[in-house]
Amino acid sequence: MSDAHFARVALIGIGLVGSSLAHVLRRDKLAGEIVACARRPETLAAAERLGLADHVTHDPAVAATGADLVVISTPLSAYAEIARRIGPALKPGAIVTDVGSVKNAAIRDVAPSLPAGVHFVPGHPVAGTEHSGPEAGFAEMFHDRWCILTPLPDGDAGALDKMTRLWQSAGMKVVTMDAAHHDMVLAITSHLPHLIAYTIVGTATDLEDTLKSEVIKFSAGGFRDFTRIAASDPVMWRDVFLNNREAVLEMLQRFTEDLTALQRAIRWGEGEKLEDLFTRTRAIRRSIIEAKQA
Which residues inside 84-123 make contact with its own copies, applying CB under 8 A? Answer: 101
- Of 169-198, which residues contact its own copies (CB under 8 A)? 184-186, 188-198
Say how far apart CA 136 and CA 128 lie, in whole Å.
Answer: 10
Tell the smallest beta-carbon distance from residue 198 to its own copies (Å): 5
Report the half-sphere exposure of 84 (CA within 13 A, side-chain side).
Answer: 6
# residues contacting its own copies (CB under 8 A): 92
Cβ–Cβ < 8 Å for 110, 185: no
176 membership: H or E segment, kind and range: strand 173-176
Length of the chain: 294
269 binds its own copies (CB under 8 A): yes
Query: According to CB under 8 A, which one of 130, 135, 156, 250 is a site residue for its own copies?
Result: 130
Tell the smallest beta-carbon distance from residue 212 to its own copies (Å): 9
Q: 213: which residues sit within 8 A by CB, 6+ positions away? A: none
3-state SS string over 61-96?
HHHHCCCCEEEECCCHHHHHHHHHHHHHHCCCCCEE
140 binds its own copies (CB under 8 A): no
271 binds its own copies (CB under 8 A): yes
Residue among 87 and 151 whose Cβ is closer to its own copies: 151
- Stretch of 16-24, 42-50, 156-164, 277-285 lying at the interface with its own copies (CB under 8 A): 277-285
Residue among 154 and 217 whose Cβ is closer to its own copies: 217
Say how far apart CA 255 and CA 235 lie, in whole Å.
Answer: 24
- Of 235-264, which residues contact its own copies (CB under 8 A)? 235, 237-239, 241-242, 245, 248-249, 251-252, 254-256, 258-259, 262-263
Residue among 45 and 274 whose Cβ is closer to its own copies: 274
Residue among 91 and 129 whose Cβ is closer to its own copies: 129
Long-range Cβ contact pairs of 224-228 (< 8 A, separation 24 or more): 226/196, 226/197, 226/200, 226/201, 227/197, 227/201, 228/130
Cβ–Cβ < 8 Å for 91, 74: no
User: Phi, psi (5° rounding) for residue 222?
Assistant: 145, -40
Binding mask 5-34 for its own copies (x = CB under 8 A): ------------------------------
Tell the smallest beta-carbon distance from residue 250 to its own copies (Å): 11
Tell the smallest beta-carbon distance from residue 23 to its own copies (Å): 19
Query: According to CB under 8 A, which one of 111, 171, 200, 250 is a site residue for its own copies?
Result: 200
What is residue 130's three-state secondary structure?
coil
